Amino acid sequence: MAFLRRLGRLVLVVFVVTFFTFYILDRIPGDPAERLAGVSATPEGIEELREELGLSGSLPERYGSWVGDIVRGDLGDSLIYDGISAWDRIRGALPKTLETLVLAELMAFGLAVPLAIRSAQRPGGLVDRWSSATAFGLLALPSFVLGIYLMFLFAVILGWFPVLSKDLPGFTDDPVGNLKGYFLPSLTLALNLLAVYVRLLRTDLIETLQQDYVMLAQARGLSTRRVMWRHVLRPSSLNTVTAAGLNVGGLIGGAFIVEVLFAYQGMGRVFIESIIGKDYFVVASMVTIIAVGYVMINFLVDILYSVLDPRIRRLSA
Amino acid sequence: MRKRLGILFWIAVLWIVLVVFLAIFRDSLPIADPVARLARSGECERFERPSWSRWFGCDNAGRDIFARSVEGARPALVLGVVVTGIAGTIGTLVGVISGYIRGLFDTVMTTIVDISLAFPALVLLIAVSVAFEPSLRVFVIVFSILGIPGYARIVRGATFALAEREFVDASESMGATRARIVRRELLPNVALPVLSFAFIGFALVIIAEGGLAFLNLSLDGITWGKEISEGRHFIVDHPHVSLIPSTVMFLTILAFNLVGDGLRSLVAPREVATARRLHIEGTPEPRSEGDDAVLRIVDLSTKLHTPGGLVEPVDQVSLSLAPGEALGIVGESGSGKTMILRSIVGAFPLADVTRAGTVEVDGVDMLRSADTVSRRTLGTNIGMVSQNPLTALNPVRRVGDQVIEPMIVHGDLSRADARERALELLQQVGIPAAERCLREYPHQLSGGMRQRVTIAIALANEPKLLLADEPTSALDVTVQDQILRLLDGLRRERGMGMVLVTHDLAVVKGFTDNVAIVYAGQVVEYGPTAEIFANPQHRYTVALMNSMPDLNLPSHSELTTIEGAPPSLIDPPSGCRFAERCPAVQDKCRTDDPVRAGTDVHSYSCWFPMSEHPVEVS
Amino acid sequence: MAGTGDAHLREDAHLVARDLVVEFSGPNKTVVHAVSGVSFDLIAGETLGVVGESGCGKTTSGRAVMQLERPTSGEVTLRGQRLTDLQGTDLRRARRAMQMIFQDPISSLNPSRRVKDIVREGIEIWGDPDGASTSDRIDEIMEAVGLGGDDVGERRPHEFSGGQCQRICIARALVLDPEVLILDEPVSALDVSVQAQILNLLDKLKEQFQLTIMFISHDLAVVKNVSDRVMVMYLGKVCEVAGTDALYAKPTHPYSRALLASIPGHELDLPPASELISGELPSPIDPPSGCRFRTRCPHATAKCATEEPVLRAVAEDHYVACHHPGSV
Ligand SMILES: Nc1ncnc2c1ncn2[C@@H]1O[C@H](COP(=O)(O)OP(=O)(O)OP(=O)(O)O)[C@@H](O)[C@H]1O
Ligand code: SF4
Ligand code: SF4
Ligand SMILES: [Mg+2]
């Protein structure tokens, strides 16, 4: 039941978003068929091409036929690059963006959890004050500003990483070179996330630490470490997990920006290029993928949430 | 209020004022033309570094960066003000309706907000700015739409919590209309959170616009994002071209966030940042020959260093508990009962804590022993039961894991053995389906059952001392009776010493051998329960007994009241702490600390005890 | 029906609740039967104590009388006027004669308003009931609740202790010159020593302002002290109604007996509570058939599972809803 409702929500989101995309694309000036056909094309020729590309008919008709194709597994062709399908465009870009995102989340959680724990153990202590202040500062840094700072510090001054992340080797070919290239873009995203996670987790840890059951666990002679990891961390993690879900949208936006900043061909750059070139099917397919991905991640977060908190399990069961 | 906002807040305000001022009066100030290519006229070189005469230097086209930074503030500020105004107003209204009226509107609203908050807004913005000619109007509309959910969510949350509060019910029963309740009771209370969020929302608008500008999709003219975007190409050789606008933007966003955060701290006071440190003072009192007490407390004082001042909730307390004895500790809330128990086990809320005196459990000095030693005593010789069974168990761990844990950690039992024993324990504390209970989570049990589970955990390693802090106050009368009898039975059976903290004299009378009456952090009377009930000496004890409604007296019996309220523990009065409220108070009481009197068995700290001055002295 | 019936209702009552039913929707489309066919009445000047354990529907009954919770069925009549038929402004006007005081005095006061504005609220809404000058009236009431003094009105609730906040709540209710006060656990959030102050104050105010009081509490000793008549509730039903001293001297419903026997230090001639009650409180989502107490009652018979006992007199003005009151 809950699953069906969620599925319904997924379909709804994808439908609204893709339809809106078609509508928007329609408004962008310029006609891809005209452009593809070239300057010497006859009006009939253009009309034919339009027919062939699936660009004729009213907006709902075009949308309908596109949905039909999608269901059959055909995302359509690129209208800018001849002989390249929308899927080809996406296939090149998606892994780069995904790698950036995954690395960013890993770094963010990897740093946030120990930092939050240290801070919560001694609120007002040195670690806490520094990490709180840093987190506050990071929250005020848009990714393109933070990216510039990091680029300047680590690439220009220190020279540890490449300035731009163009033409990176694949992970399997050259893991070090690959990771080095993605490090700065991922770190840019990670630091923004880190700030959110540390603040939330620290507050919740401190709150949990004041709970009766934690006091009782201490009074049972359990070590501080055990109390923290076994008793405190899990019940304190709910808000952070929620925030991770809520931040997916912002994270995707951030990824678009760091791709432009570090100049590599991820989803963001392809998306912008395609939308400006009115590359219908590439844009619509990308939007679909992003929408599905976003809903799936939130779905995962919900599952994780109920794993973490048995009280929720019963309600949604 | 001003003091609580702190210096950073005011610096941030100053920065915002400065940016706004420059942006508005740019034309009438001696600031260079932001678009003039000064390199041509030789006023400034391309990529000129910052200097005294040209604060921010020049960019790739030889234009003045300071002038461009000021100019770039304009679209950011205009957009921020308009969008914050529109989105804030609509969002607040939607949020209040959603949180107060609820119903279908709320369900629909929450779904929309949830979906839109997590959706990649930038993707949408990119699409819109390509589709529509980017103009201020289009941006205002789109940003406002994107901003509404944030406000709605905050306001709904705040309203929801407020509407649960009883003052809304009270106002409704006075006959206030819904409109009046929204206006008088709800809006004033959400105003500050909204205002605080408005500053943060303002910063978000600047960030979003900056992102678009960075992608070259924003408004025509000069904006911060565009400056950064163009300048980044020269980062290797001329970093200042991008770093300066970046920093201006960063500081502005930071300032807005700081103001928002400062305002929020007015609503929900910033939780006080205090480290938890435990200090021990004084020297231990040696134990006398032949003393076999399981618990020996001598002159225990506990001080908490809180932001409000130094609190001393335990002041010179001495108690002793023989094996198998039940000791009651009675007092009003805030009198320090719980803190006595916490001082024994060394578990405190977040604060600097200093303890002085002696606390010995089964011969182990709990204040000065090595960590491992005192932890072992805690684990094996002390069991603790707390007031609220709802919060005494970890909500996310199975009951079984929680019962087993102390046995595995301290009792060196294998998991299987520990499980066996856990089953046994649960049966002993009267849980019928023990097997199933082990697999359940606390929320699946009733309050009484949960309290039985905490008792089972406390008994896990056969402790010699059981500390029970109001074990039944949160329970229903019939359950209360069952739990008290259970504790009493277990104590007798196992020869455990038990400390029973309570505010209920009837409980003390029925279930303890000795009793300590606590007032404002001090033990004011201490002795055998029967003796004290028959023959109370301290004036507070007497007053307490007379103010309790007694089930055995006819209805409408007049109750003796104790006027006033207990003194603050932050700077307690000198002399007798009960003097303000005592019907028998004399001048001497206000100046001199009462000296412990009576016998070794029954002692009290009162200058004019009942036995010597049976009628009220006055 | 169990614990239903209206044999105990009196002719000359000022406020009557007849056959009140309040249901909430629970999780997963279930129904929470919070109050199921409860009737009671108050004669002018009387204090009715309502006791029972948590979740038995005491609070809900009080809120239903106030119409803060609209009852699913049943009627509430005040001076012959049926409040349950009224809506909107008519309801607000009629309800003015009743006021409610809540358990948590601190959360009952809007933290952002000054005490003087809080207390004046009623007059702002309705105008002054006896036309006397507003500030005089407020001064008089503040004096009566023991909060006389110049600067009290200017301060905000957080500057007061729990007991003082409860006094402010009482003052706010008295401003409208109510006939009936509904007090929901008015002293359970307070300290013992402060509790006595409020109880004595209520007694005094009852005389001074000629109040009729419905006093809801889980504390049997407190209820005994303040009430003229007591009603014992269990799981949304009435078990027993009688004059206070009669009920406490000779509790007759098996549940009332268990309740009293559970109190440490009682001097009644009762067996230990463990012999009078067993098991756990059933869920109000799926209450037992017949008599709702039967799953825990030592005297339960087959009849108790099928047929709901109705309140009937066992002595003069002493009503019990039990099939076997004699067996105790
Ligand atoms: N708004 C509500 N929604 C759902 N269930 C409710 C609601 N209010 C009360 N209930 C349920 O109705 C039943 C009766 O509740 P009520 O608060 O009237 O009991 P009570 O006797 O006042 O208890 P307590 O002594 O704990 O205050 C309980 O099972 C309670 O959980
Ligand atoms: S010392 Fe004085 S003030 Fe204190 S309780 Fe005794 S008589 Fe009262
Ligand atoms: S004897 Fe029957 S009717 Fe009476 S209380 Fe027990 S179960 Fe209910
Ligand atoms: Mg209640």
Query: DSSP letters of B218-249?
Result: S-SS--HHHHHHHHGGGTTT-THHHHHHHHHH
> The domain C15-85+204-327 belongs to what CATH superfamily?
P-loop containing nucleotide triphosphate hydrolases (3.40.50.300)
pLDDT of residue B185: 87
Could you give the domains of chain A?
A: 2-71 (no CATH), 92-316 (1.10.3720.10)
B125/chain C closest Cα distance in angstroms: 39
pLDDT at A315: 43
pLDDT for position A39: 67
Q: How far is CA A129 from CA A122, A123, A134, B262, B309, in A?
A: 10, 8, 8, 16, 22
B227 in the same domain as B368: no
Least confident segment among A124-138, B282-296, C74-88, C312-326: B282-296
Same domain, B524 and B380: yes
- Residues B240 and B123 reside in one and the same domain: yes
Return the HEC string of chain C.
CCCECCCCCCCCCCEEEEEEEEEEECHHHCEEEEEEEEEEEECCCCEEEEECCCCCCHHHHHHHHHCCCCCCEEEEEECCEEHHHCCHHHHHHHHCCEEEECCCCCCCCCCCCCHHHHHHHHHHHHCCCCCCCHHHHHHHHHHHCCCCCCCHHHCCHHHCCHHHHHHHHHHHHHCCCCCEEEEECCCCCCCHHHHHHHHHHHHHHHHHHCCEEEEECCCHHHHHHHCCEEEEEECCEEEEEEEHHHHHHCCCCHHHHHHHHCCCCCCCCCCCHHHHCCCCCCCCCCCCCCCCCCCCCCCCCHHHHHCCCECEEEECCEEECCCCHHHC
Atom 25, ligand 1: residue with shortest CA distance? C54
* B175·C194 Cβ contact <8 A: no
In this structure, are B376 and B345 located in the same domain?
Answer: yes
The C-alpha atoms of residue B211 and residue B224 are separated, in whole angstroms, by 10
Give me chain B's average pLDDT, please: 85
Q: Answer yes or no: is pLDDT of C1 > 70.
A: no
CA distance B226 to chain C (A): 45
- B383 or B474, greater pLDDT: B383
Q: Are residues B117 and B196 in the same domain?
A: yes
Indicate the top mutation candidate among B544, B577, B585, B590 to test ligand 2's pocket, ranked by most ligand atoms within 8 A of CB: B585
Nearest to C42 by CA among C228, C232, C175: C228
User: Atom 31, ligand 1: which residue's CA is nearest?
Assistant: C55
Beta-carbon contacts of B131 under 8 Å, excluding residues fewer than 6 positions away, are: A24, A25, A27, A28
Mean pLDDT of B476-491: 88
Q: Is B431 in the pocket of ligand 2 (CB under 6 A)?
A: no
Decide if B501 is inside a domain: yes
Mean pLDDT over residues C133-146, rounded? 83
Pocket test for ligand 1, best of C20, C21, C24 (most atoms within 8 A of CB): C24
Average pLDDT over residues B416-433: 88
- B228 or B616, greater pLDDT: B228
Q: Which ligand is nearest to the CA of C292?
A: 3
Q: Which domain holds residue B553?
A: 535-618
Q: Smallest CA–CA separation between C181 and chain B, in Å?
A: 11
- In short, whether C224's Cβ falls inside 6 Å of ligand 3 is no
pLDDT reported for residue B275: 56
Alpha-carbon torsion, ordered C146, C149, C151, C153, to 10 deg: 40
Stretch B246-265: mean pLDDT: 88
Q: Nearest-CA distance from B537 to chain A in Å?
A: 35
For residue C2, is pLDDT > 50? no
Ligand 2, atom 1: closest residue by C-alpha? B606
Contacts of B551 in chain C (CB under 8 A): 220-221, 224, 248, 260, 263, 265-267
Looking at the structure, tell me whether residues B230 and B357 fall in a common domain. no
Q: Is residue B261 a part of any domain in this protein?
A: yes
Longest distance between any two alpha carbons in chain C, whole Å: 66
Alpha-carbon distance of B261 to C170, in angstroms, equals: 37
Among B209-218, B319-328, B417-426, B514-523, the range scoring the smallest mean pLDDT is B209-218
Computed over every residue of chain C, the mean pLDDT equals 88
Query: What is the pLDDT at residue A54?
Result: 66
In this prediction, residue C22 has a pLDDT band, given cuts at 50, 70 and 90, of: very high
Question: What is the spatial distance between Cα C293 and Cα C304, in angstroms, rounded to a whole number?
Answer: 9
How many folded domains does chain B comprise? 3
Name which of C230, C248, C246, C249 is nearest C238 in CA terms: C230
With a pLDDT cut of 90, the percent of chain B lying above it is 22
Tell me: the pLDDT tens digits for B526-547? Answer: 999 999 999 999 999 998 888 8
- Please identify, among B534, B557, B583, the residue that sits at the C-terminal boundary of a domain: B534
pLDDT at B177 over 80: yes
Atom of ligand 2 nearest to the CA of B594: 1
- Window 145-184 of A, Cβ < 8 Å to B: 145, 148-149, 151-152, 156, 163
Co-location of B375 and B427 in the same domain: yes
Over residues A151-179, mean pLDDT: 79
| Residue B58 within a domain | no
Of C248 and B573, the structure prediction assigns the larger pLDDT to: C248
Percent of the residues in chain B that have a pLDDT greater than 70, as a whole number:
96
pLDDT tens figures, B344-374: 988 887 778 889 999 989 888 888 888 888 8
Minimum mean pLDDT range among B41-45, B133-137, B462-466, B507-511 = B41-45
Indicate the top mutation candidate among C23, C32, C223 to test ligand 1's pocket, ranked by most ligand atoms within 8 A of CB: C32
Q: Please indicate, yes or no, if residue B518 is contained in any of the structural domains.
A: yes
- φ/ψ (deg, to 5) at C8: -85, -5
| Residue-level pLDDT at B536 | 93
Output the six-digit token pair for A190. 């990670």
pLDDT confidence of B1, banded at 50, 70, 90?
very low
Q: What is the mean pLDDT of residues C242-259?
A: 94
Asked whether the predicted pLDDT for residue C3 surpasses 60, the reply is no
- Residue B583 CA, closest ligand 2 atom number: 8
Q: Is residue B68 part of a domain?
A: no
Mean pLDDT calculated for residue range B459-477: 87
Q: What is the pLDDT of residue B274?
A: 58
* Interchain proximity C98–B481, CB inside 8 Å: no
Of A51-60, A155-164, A173-182, B407-416, where does mean pLDDT reach its minimum?
A51-60
pLDDT digits (tens, 9 = 90+) for B488-525: 998 999 899 999 999 888 899 889 999 999 999 999 99
pLDDT tens by residue, C92-106: 888 889 999 998 888
Residues B452 and B513 in one domain: yes
CA separation (Å) from B441 to B346, B403, B446, B492, C141? 28, 12, 11, 30, 51
For residue B273, give the chain A residue with the closest CA: A124
* Ligand 2 centroid from CA A250, angstroms: 66
CATH code assigned at B133: 1.10.3720.10
At residue B552, the pLDDT reads 84
| CB burial string B105-141: b at 16+ within 10 A, e below | ebeebbeebbbbbbbbbbbbbbbbbbbbebeeeebbe
- Read off the pLDDT of residues A219-250 as tens digits, 9 standing for 90 and up: 888 888 889 998 999 889 888 888 888 888 88
Other Cβ atoms less than 10 A from the Cβ of B310: the count is 13
- The percent of residues above 90 in pLDDT, for chain A, comes to 12
Q: Residue A109: is its pLDDT beyond 70?
A: yes
How distant is the Cα of C141 from the closest Cα of chain B, in angstroms?
Answer: 16
Give A1's pLDDT tier (boundaries 50, 70, 90). low
Residue where a domain terminates, one of B512, B534, B556: B534
- Tens of pLDDT, residue by residue over C169-194, are 999 999 888 999 999 999 888 888 78
Closest Cβ–Cβ partner in A124, A213, A272 for B394:
A213
Half-sphere exposure of B410 (CA within 13 A, CB side): 29
Indicate the pLDDT class of residue B618, thresholds 50, 70 and 90. very low
User: Mean of the pLDDT values across residues A186-198?
Assistant: 92
The verdict on residue B370 lying in a domain is yes
**Both B307 and B230 in a single domain?**
no
Cβ <8 Å between B189 and C112: yes
Let me know whether B353 and B428 are in one domain: yes
Gap between the Cα atoms of A309 and A297, Å rounded: 18
Ligand 3: does its nearest atom lie under 6 Å from the Cβ of C237?
Answer: no
Point out the residue among C227, C265, C273 whose CB comes nearest to the CB of B478: C273
The domain spans of chain C are 15-85+204-327
**Is residue B10 in a domain?**
no
Does B145 fall in a domain? yes
Whether B183 and B237 map to the same domain: the answer is yes
**Mean pLDDT calculated for residue range C270-274:** 89
Distance B75 CA to ligand 2 centre (A): 72
- Indicate if B221 and B83 belong to the same structural domain: yes
